[in-house]
Structure formats: C-alpha cells, structure tokens
Amino acid sequence: MKRTSWILCKSIAFSFSTKMSLLYSLFVSLTLIILRLASPFSTKIRKWLEGRKNWRAKLKASNIANQKHIVWFHCASLGEFEQAKPVMMAVRKEMPEYAILLTFFSPSGYEARKNTEWADFVTYLPADTRKNARDFVKIANPTLAIFVKSEIWPHYMTALAQAKTVSILFSARFYEGQPVFKINFFKKSLKKFSRIFVQDKASQNLLQRHNIENLIAGDTRFDQVLQLKSSYKNYPKVEEFVSNTPTLVVGSCWPQDIEVLKKFVNDQNSRVKIILAPHDISDKMIKSIVDDLSVSYIKYSKINSDPHFARKKVLIIDNIGMLAHIYQYAQVAYVGGAFKQGLHNILEPAVYGIPIIFGPNTKGFPEALEILIEGCAFSVKNETELNHLLSDLFDEKKKNTTLGKKNLHYVESKAGATEKIMQYILKIEAENFKNT
C-alpha cells in the first residue's frame, strides 16, 4: 500500500512538472510572437531579435568552435557583466588554455561589450526553448557554465544537466516570495546548479531552508571597483575642466534626479563645478538636460572644438564607459536612479573615498543601507534636503575626507568574492584534466 501511494505521488508530481514545463515553453513561444509583432515599433526589440538570427551558424563558425576547453559566462546585461568581469579576468589569467564564451540577454549589454578583450566570442543567448537550449549546449560544448546574479533559465539548466556540464551561479541574492521558490518547476532549475555562491547570510539561510546547497562568497562588484581604481585611467580634458575646483559628479542620472538637482546646478554664485553623466545618452535625454540649464555647459563630445571649455560650469558626459573613472575628480558624488525605479552603482564612487548622495528608493540595494548606517552616505527626499546637504558637504572639507575614508574602507572590507569563486573553478579544472 505504501509503495503504491509513493508511486502515485511520484506520478502526480511528474505529471505536474511536465505540465509546468509545457506551460513555460508556451509562455516563451508566445513572448517571441509578441516581440516580433512589437519589433517595428522598438529599436531595442529589433536588436534583440536580429541579434539572435542564425545563431547556430554563427556559433559553429566562431573562433571557439571545436575548442577543447570552454568556459561559458552568461550575463543579463551590462551590470551583470561588470560583476562577471573580475572572474573572467581571473579565468583568463589562471586558465589561459580555456576559451571564453560570453552571452548576453539584453541588447544594451551586448552592444556595450561585444568587443570586450576578456572573451573570445560574444553573442546573444538564444531564447530559452527546449531545442535552442539543447542545440546551444551541444554546439558550444562548454566545460563549465557560469551564470551571474539572477540568471536562471530552466531549459538551459536541463540541457547542461543532461550534458553533465558543471554549472555555477554567483553573486546571487534571494528573498522570500521570489517566483523561484513559489513554483516547484523553477526551484528544480535552481537545484540543477552544481554550486551557488550567494552574496549574504540571508540568501544562504533561505536556500538552505529549501534544501539547496550554497556558499557565501560575497559580491564580485567590490573586487571590480577596486580593479577599476587600480587600473587608473585619467582624462586630461576633464582634469583641465575641473582645474582644482570643487566638483560634484552626478552619475547615471534620470530626469527625476535633474529635477531635484537643477537649483544647485544653476546657482550662478556657486564655485562648484558639475559633471553630469546621464544614464540615457540619447539626443532626447541630453536635450532635456540642456533645456533645464541656465548656466554655461559643454558636452564631452564637443570639448576639443571649444578652446574655452574649462570656463564652463557644467560638463555633460555624452558617452558610455567613462563614468566609473570620472568619479576620481569629485569631492562629492550624487548617484541617480533612486527617485525612479532603483539606485545605480554606488560602489564606483565609494572606492574613490568620497561622500555619496542618492534619492529615497534604495529597496533591494543592501550596500546602500550599509553605507547609510556607516554614516558615509546620505539619502535625500527632495530638492530642499539636497541643497542643504550639498552646501554643508562643500563647506566642510575635513568632514568630506572622513566620510570618504569610511566609504573606501567599506569597499575594501567587502572584497574577496572572486578568490572564493576561483578556488572552486580551479578545483573543477583540476578534476577535468585528471579525467582527460
């Protein structure tokens, strides 16, 4: 009787799992149809679809085809790539005989890093259908698959498991209520990872309650910003613009950030220079910023054509890639996004030892809460709070220095995730060569 009940339960569970798999596959197929219908109206969607055309032929013809040893990194977008980069660099250094395959989900990540020196071949991840996943894993034939932060694709996890490919998820954070814990189909996909490295104790405890093995390694972004700082890159024209003048760098700003900043930025009597680096560098966004300015400004793209650029009050960074290094010129940093959907990277300015200001929406950003508790960052709710705070910070240089040192110490104290992840990867490599 007990055996019959057990078999019945097993059959019901298998049937439910199969139905969920079919529903998920149907959802992916419907999403692809919707994207094709919407593509004429969206450049981003068109790039998403066009980038995946003929992916099998492109992968077979790539310079990693038929490589004996391949490490596959998958990143959702540019932010995840920055998290992956310290590990990619370490793999390149410690395992030079391995080719590196890099895939992106989003066009923004692919377009920005399609020519990165840290990968041998960069492409889009094909949509997560059963056939795509099976074919991709078969053609690429990775020795090791590495996913970053929250990239969990059920059909790809199944294909990797069937191919007996070691898979890793790192810099992951989990919280109660995520769909991955509510739906068993997704939880099974999470369990297929060979090893999961989480950022914090809360994530570790949550996974353990669901019988999912994991290790705390921390967040590789701390290693990344320390590497960025040590790779020192200067911009002579920016140095000339700043010219030892107190400077506020506004990073990854949106219109909502400009709204609370514009009174301070447009203060004709202030000696403080402003460097604005919008998150969106489209002509429309740059125009909206310029329309809000009543002081002199120069775009970085035009800086060589204006011999008097250093006399301007505002410098607008109208390109991607400079911001992380531009923070070195700031006495105070304002990081955008927290008056909108979410805060952008605060570790990039923190590593330069300067005070940081941001808006109120910091949910899901534990590093923001931690440096607020340390007292070396400030969250503001409106223009009045921001103006008072900026005036105080630029008037008190000693206070700035003290706060900045705390930020740098915070970043340094959190470093080391890459080393922990590499210990596991090198162990896998040793076992791989032992068995060949």
Distance CA 291, CA 239 (A): 26
Q: Is residue 8 part of a domain?
A: no
Q: Are residues 307 and 392 in the same domain?
A: yes
- What band does 396 get if pLDDT is binned at 50, 70 and 90? confident
Query: pLDDT tens across 186-228, in order?
Result: 999 999 999 999 999 999 999 999 999 999 999 999 999 999 9
What pLDDT, on a 0 to 100 scale, did the predictor assign at position 66?
Answer: 83
* Residue 214 · residue 204 · CB < 8 Å: yes
Q: Is residue 327 part of a domain?
A: yes
Distance CA 331, CA 401 (A): 9
Distance CA 328, CA 315 (A): 15
Neighbour count for residue 2 (Cβ, 10 Å): 6
Q: Tell me, what DSSP letter sits at residue 56?
A: H
Residue 392 has pLDDT above 70, yes or no: yes
Q: Are residues 203 and 273 in the same domain?
A: no
- Total number of domains constituting the chain: 2
Give the residue numbers spanning the domain of 170: 36-218+416-434
* Residue 198 · residue 172 · CB < 8 Å: yes
What pLDDT, on a 0 to 100 scale, did the predictor assign at position 435?
Answer: 65
Q: Are residues 201 and 350 in the same domain?
A: no
Q: Are residues 207 and 351 in the same domain?
A: no
Round the average pLDDT of the chain to a whole number and report it.
92
DSSP letter for each residue of 1-30: -HHHHHHHHHHHHHHHHHHHHHHHHHHHHH
Which residue from 155, 152, 140, 169 is spatially nearest to 64, judged by alpha carbons?
A: 140
Q: Are residues 368 and 354 in the same domain?
A: yes
Q: Are residues 184 and 93 in the same domain?
A: yes
CATH at 206: 3.40.50.11720
Q: How many alpha carbons fall within 13 Å on the CB side of residue 244?
A: 0
Q: Are residues 238 and 110 in the same domain?
A: no
Q: Is residue 381 part of a domain?
A: yes
As given in the structure block, the two tokens for residue 62 are 């790539």
pTM: 0.88
Q: Is residue 16 part of a domain?
A: no
Q: Is residue 191 part of a domain?
A: yes
Q: Is residue 17 part of a domain?
A: no
Distance CA 226, CA 168 (A): 24
Q: Output 176-181 pairs: Cβ under 8 A, ≥24 positions apart.
A: 176/206, 180/152, 181/206, 181/210
Distance CA 231, CA 77 (A): 23
* Residue 256 · residue 288 · CB < 8 Å: no
Q: Are residues 152 and 133 in the same domain?
A: yes
- What band does 398 get if pLDDT is binned at 50, 70 and 90? confident
Q: Is residue 14 part of a domain?
A: no
Q: Are residues 250 and 128 in the same domain?
A: no
Q: Are residues 422 and 288 in the same domain?
A: no
Residue 296 has pLDDT above 60, yes or no: yes
Q: Are residues 388 and 426 in the same domain?
A: no
**CA distances in angstroms from 173 to 81, 91, 106, 199, 365, listed in the order given:** 16, 23, 20, 6, 10
CATH at 281: 3.40.50.2000
* Residue 215 · residue 197 · CB < 8 Å: yes
Q: Are residues 239 and 206 in the same domain?
A: no
Which residue from 150, 220, 153 is spatially nearest to 421, judged by alpha carbons?
A: 220
